[in-house]
Amino acid sequence: MMNAQEKLKERLNKNLHICVGLDTDLNKIPSHLFKTNEPILEFNKIVVENTYEDAAAYKINFAFYERLGSRGLDIIQKTLEFIPKNILTIADAKRGDIGNTSEMYAKAIFEELNFDSITLHPYMGFDSIQPFLIYKNKISFLLALTSNIGANDFEKIKSSEGKFLFQHVIEKSNEWNINKNLGIVFGATKIEELKENISLFNELYVLLPGVGAQGGSLEDVVKTFDLNNSKNYLINVSRALIYCDTSKNFGEAISHTIKEYNRKVVPN
């Protein structure tokens, strides 16, 4: 069995950097799927079938499933069964709580659901993160600078040392990365900040959401990592990829679109 790091490295070494975001929304999927028993699951199955050769990872955003209650959890489990075992899965659940609560979240996501990785918010500090870090073969991505406007509200507050809060998160993430199982989330929409801070990333994996619907540029992100000689990054695309076509042939269109993204991710 490959661990999370091995799965990710294998794909990154093949110059595959696109993380397929399964933000599956009943209001956006092609209408012909409503004839099937479980339209969301059917949609995810077709997305995976048409992307698994080209994807570096799959990110399941829990909000889109939790809104369906227990049925949503069931869809998450069944979707994971469709994803080939050599591809990284990310539980985008943005967890983090006092130690014994985080321990339960970690068990739920890493053991019960058997995801390879998770997104966490870091604001409750080390004891809220540590229960995830003890899983050496999984990867935890801490929110550093997020893609949204609200990133300015807290993440860009300057401390007395003159550093932004998100820079402290990156610094601590490096400190805590003893087992090489930590990553950060950095908005693809924040390209200037990416250029200014990329030298701080060291061995942290980087998950960059915000390409497509939020206006981030895939080419700019790729260029920035190339200039820094780093391959350690995943670019998440959700809406712009999975809803690129709403016809009966949407699977083919998605396959075409992810291949086009990959063509833009060519090494120097």
Ligand X SMILES: O=C(O)c1cc(=O)[nH]c(=O)n1[C@@H]1O[C@H](COP(=O)(O)O)[C@@H](O)[C@H]1O
Residue 40 CA to residue 49 CA, distance in Å, equals 14
Q: Which two tokens stand for residue 62?
A: 């829990």
| Rounded Cα distance, 250 and 237, in Å | 16
Query: What are the tokens at 2?
Result: 């490959």
Structure tokens at 54: 């080209």
The residue count of the chain comes to 268
CB atoms within 10 A of CB 223: 15
Binding of residue 146 to ligand X (CB under 6 A): yes
DSSP 158: B
Task: State yes or no: is 94 an active-site residue.
Answer: yes
Output the CA torsion 72→78→83→89 (10° steps). 40
Select the residue interacting with ligand X from 8, 12, 16, 21 (CB under 6 A). 21
> What distance in Å separates the CA atoms of residue 118 and residue 222, rounded to the nearest whole number?
23
Residue among 7, 28, 59, 94 flagged as catalytic: 94
- What is the token pair recorded at 65? 């499933």
Candidates 36-44, 98-106, 211-219, 253-261: pick the segment binding ligand X (CB under 6 A): 211-219
Is 262 a binding residue for ligand X by CB under 6 A? The answer is no
* Stretch of residues binding ligand X (CB under 6 A), selected from 96-104, 110-118, 127-135, 209-217: 209-217
Among residues 78, 168, 239, 264, which is the contact residue for ligand X, using CB under 6 A? 239
Q: Give, for 76, the enclosing helix (H) or strand (E).
A: helix 70-82
The site string for ligand X over 173-202 (x = CB under 6 A, - otherwise) reads ------------x-x---------------
C-beta closer to ligand X: residue 24 or 267: 24
Cβ proximity to ligand X, 5 vs 140, nearer residue: 140
Nearer to ligand X, 100 or 153 (CB): 153
Q: Which one among 75, 212, 262, 265 touches ligand X, defined by CB under 6 A?
A: 212
Residue 238 sits in the site that holds ligand X (CB under 6 A): yes
Q: Which residues bind ligand X (CB under 6 A)?
A: 21, 23, 61, 92, 119, 146-147, 185, 187, 209-210, 212-214, 236-240
The set of catalytic residues is: 94
